């Protein structure tokens, strides 16, 4: 960026925020310009009051929710730094994701840089003439060791676009201006901009839930939102709490995948799939998964997943809980919302069991190992003869554990009780994640018995005894012919009937 253009950008930045508004509550002030979408780049202006003669700025190497190193700094170009009199400051690009700026203590420094945003993916930033999707961890530098600093953000949108959507708190009376209490929250709130469509909102637990999307297809949007409300209500009925003040489903357009966030989710979505029944069930299952993550992983979490290590990645051997159990609950949510039938539910578990059983990786890699190795193997494993996916085995182990708890307690407790205990004890009271030892202690306190066998299913390659646990709910499985079809038994006893019925509707008695 030439000096004249820099001056214009800085002048606009100061007009919006002004040095006078730079307070302890606004320790970092950021402006994001989306005004040149045809270049597939976004421009960032960042202002910070330095505390030392050298200030180190870093770009995250990954974004929470996507467990792969992304090396976002490779997309940064035209970096420059200026003092509060608009004089250039010396700086060094000391390593791939680090810029060291020579600053004056108690004086403000302004950074200017571009980010190439030409990859349309849920874990990267993208901009073209139709819309922008911004992954904050891929876009905004942070001050080293100062993740806790509060942030003010202004989005300068393209003149032909009418909407900006994000899970961030907006500043009242200010268009496209937002605040975050720290960089963790900033990085947890993707931004969607364009001529977006907002669908009819709904409330659950007194809290407004919105769906805002880019280039949505032609489908019955009220029916769709009614389905989403049923899913959110089913989640609320499990957890008995809504932990956010507002929630936004972001439909970011065609593609693959989604990422969960505290007050939003980013979802590859157009809605075209909703026009046939199988597509409807599939897309609602996907959205239920990303939504339930706001409980399971964003708040109920392994201790390694917060505070985050943005440099090296936050690694845990418990993604089978965070991801695998979320698959389990996406199935249950749709069943309890009346979207999936009991047979649909049985079929889903059959598919997971088949995927797990048909490859030799199950004889080599344990469930806990698949979690810790995901940064190398990917979430689905990179060699089916050596690795497994926690998306397949994780929900199956959750199923077996749920039926074990229900059987041992004569259906007075369930896995739902485990989730509520973890939520209350660690998220609400201790305000931290759980260790694995604490996790198993919580499970056994609900079950009232040792869970050694289930523990071994997680930490070894021991064969799973499907029939034993499914029988507790009056279900059979065709393991002999290896179709693994799940069907009800002909004459279940009273406890089996109670377990199956309450599992399907979401209760215990």
**Same domain, yes or no: 488 and 369:** yes
Q: How far is CA 102 from CA 94, 143, 298, 410, in A?
A: 12, 13, 37, 67
Tell me what pLDDT residue 15 has: 46
**Same domain, yes or no: 67 and 184:** yes
Of 138, 164, 194, which residue constitutes the final position of a domain? Answer: 194
* Tens-place pLDDT, residues 178-213: 999 999 999 999 999 999 999 999 999 999 999 999
Residue 498 above 60 pLDDT?
A: yes
Q: How far is CA 266 from CA 92, 191, 255, 259, 262, in A?
A: 35, 9, 11, 5, 11
Looking at residues 141-158, what average pLDDT do you find? 97
Task: Find where tokens 């003869």 sit.
Answer: 385
Mean pLDDT of all residues belonging to the chain: 94
CATH code (residue 186):
2.60.40.3650
**Same domain, yes or no: 327 and 422:** yes
Tell me what pLDDT residue 1 has: 41
Of 194, 219, 243, which residue constitutes the final position of a domain? Answer: 194
Total domains, the chain: 3
Tell me what pLDDT residue 509 has: 65
Residue 218 above 70 pLDDT?
A: yes
CATH code (residue 417):
1.10.390.10
**Same domain, yes or no: 342 and 327:** yes
Tell me what pLDDT residue 378 has: 77
pLDDT > 90 fraction of the chain, expressed in percent and rounded: 92
The two three-digit tokens of residue 300, written as one number: 């109920």
Tell me what pLDDT residue 30 has: 98
**Same domain, yes or no: 218 and 338:** no
Tell me what pLDDT residue 5 has: 43
The two three-digit tokens of residue 465, written as one number: 């005894």
* Tens-place pLDDT, residues 19-46: 334 444 448 999 999 999 999 999 999 9
**Same domain, yes or no: 181 and 111:** yes
Task: Find where tokens 């942030």 sit.
Answer: 151
Looking at residues 411-428, what average pLDDT do you find? 99
**Same domain, yes or no: 378 and 462:** yes
Tell me what pLDDT residue 9 has: 47
Tell me what pLDDT residue 421 has: 99
287 lies in some domain: no
CATH code (residue 252):
3.30.2010.30
Helices (H) and strands (E) in the chain, counts: 15, 23
pTM: 0.94
430 lies in some domain: yes
pLDDT > 70 fraction of the chain, expressed in percent and rounded: 95
Tell me what pLDDT residue 377 has: 80
11 lies in some domain: yes
**Same domain, yes or no: 349 and 431:** yes
For the chain, the farthest-separated pair of C-alpha atoms sits apart, in whole angstroms, at 83
The two three-digit tokens of residue 286, written as one number: 């996907």
The two three-digit tokens of residue 72, written as one number: 């976002």
Asked whether 238 and 506 are in contact (CB, 8 A), the reply is yes
Tell me what pLDDT residue 379 has: 77
Tell me what pLDDT residue 2 has: 43
288 lies in some domain: no
337 lies in some domain: yes
Domain residues for 90?
3-194
Of 194, 229, 253, which residue constitutes the final position of a domain? Answer: 194
**Same domain, yes or no: 398 and 496:** yes
Residue 18 above 50 pLDDT?
A: no
User: What gap in Å lies between CA 176 and CA 156, rounded to an integer?
Assistant: 7
User: What gap in Å lies between CA 446 and CA 428, rounded to an integer?
Assistant: 18
Residue 7 above 80 pLDDT?
A: no
Other beta carbons less than 10 A from residue 123's beta carbon: 20
User: What gap in Å lies between CA 496 and CA 300, rounded to an integer?
Assistant: 30
Tell me what pLDDT residue 376 has: 87
**Same domain, yes or no: 179 and 236:** no
* Tens-place pLDDT, residues 302-318: 999 999 999 999 999 99
Asked whether 335 and 504 are in contact (CB, 8 A), the reply is yes
**Same domain, yes or no: 355 and 480:** yes
289 lies in some domain: no
Tell me what pLDDT residue 426 has: 99
**Same domain, yes or no: 176 and 244:** no
* Tens-place pLDDT, residues 238-295: 999 999 999 999 999 999 899 999 999 999 999 999 999 999 999 999 999 999 999 9
Residue 508 above 80 pLDDT?
A: no
281 lies in some domain: no
Residue 67 above 90 pLDDT?
A: yes
52 lies in some domain: yes
* Tens-place pLDDT, residues 376-394: 887 777 788 999 999 999 9
Give the residue with greater pLDDT, 376 vs 155.
155
């Amino acid at each position: 960026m030439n000096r004249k253009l820099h001056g214009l950008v800085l002048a606009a930045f100061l007009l919006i925020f002004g040095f006078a508004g730079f307070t302890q509550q606004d320790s970092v002030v950021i402006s994001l310009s989306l005004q040149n979408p045809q270049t597939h780049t976004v421009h960032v202006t960042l202002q910070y009051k330095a505390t030392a003669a050298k200030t180190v700025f870093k770009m995250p190497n990954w974004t929470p929710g996507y467990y792969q190193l992304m090396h976002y700094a490779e997309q940064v170009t035209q970096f420059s730094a200026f003092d509060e009199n608009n004089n250039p400051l010396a700086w060094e690009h000391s390593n791939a994701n680090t810029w060291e700026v020579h600053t004056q203590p108690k004086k403000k420094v302004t950074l200017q840089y571009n980010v190439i945003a030409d990859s349309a993916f849920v874990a990267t930033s993208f901009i073209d003439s139709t819309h922008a999707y911004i992954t904050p961890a891929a876009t905004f530098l942070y001050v080293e060791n100062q993740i806790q600093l509060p942030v003010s953000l202004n989005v300068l949108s393209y003149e032909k676009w009418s909407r900006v959507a994000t899970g961030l708190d907006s500043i009242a009376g200010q268009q496209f201006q937002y605040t975050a209490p720290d960089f963790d929250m900033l990085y947890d709130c993707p931004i969607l901009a364009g001529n977006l469509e907002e669908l009819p909102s709904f409330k659950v637990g007194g809290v407004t839930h919105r769906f805002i999307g880019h280039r949505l297809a032609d489908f019955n949007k009220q029916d769709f939102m009614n389905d989403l409300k049923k899913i959110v209500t089913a989640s609320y009925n499990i957890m008995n709490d809504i932990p956010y003040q507002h929630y936004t489903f972001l439909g970011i357009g065609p593609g693959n995948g989604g990422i969960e966030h505290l007050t939003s989710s980013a979802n590859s979505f157009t809605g075209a799939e909703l026009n046939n029944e199988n597509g409807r069930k599939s897309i609602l299952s996907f959205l239920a998964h990303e939504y339930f993550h706001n409980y399971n992983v964003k708040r109920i979490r392994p201790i390694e997943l917060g505070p985050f290590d943005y440099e090296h990645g936050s690694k845990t051997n418990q993604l089978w809980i965070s991801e695998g159990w979320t698959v389990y609950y996406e199935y249950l949510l749709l069943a309890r919302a009346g979207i999936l039938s009991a047979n649909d539910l049985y079929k889903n578990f059959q598919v997971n069991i088949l995927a797990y059983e048909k490859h030799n990786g199950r004889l080599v890699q344990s469930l806990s190992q698949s979690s810790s190795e995901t940064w190398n193997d990917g979430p689905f494993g990179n060699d089916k003869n050596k690795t497994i996916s926690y998306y397949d085995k994780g929900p199956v182990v959750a199923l077996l554990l749920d039926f074990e708890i229900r059987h041992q307690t004569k259906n007075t407790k369930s896995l739902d009780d485990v989730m509520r205990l973890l939520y209350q004890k660690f998220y609400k009271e201790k305000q931290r994640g759980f260790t694995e030892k604490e996790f198993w202690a919580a499970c056994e306190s609900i079950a009232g018995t040792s869970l050694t066998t289930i523990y071994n299913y997680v930490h070894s390659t021991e064969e799973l005894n499907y029939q034993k646990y499914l029988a507790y709910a009056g279900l059979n499985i065709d393991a002999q012919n290896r179709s693994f079809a799940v069907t009800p038994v002909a004459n279940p006893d009273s406890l089996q009937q109670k377990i199956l019925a309450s599992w399907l509707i979401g209760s215990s008695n």
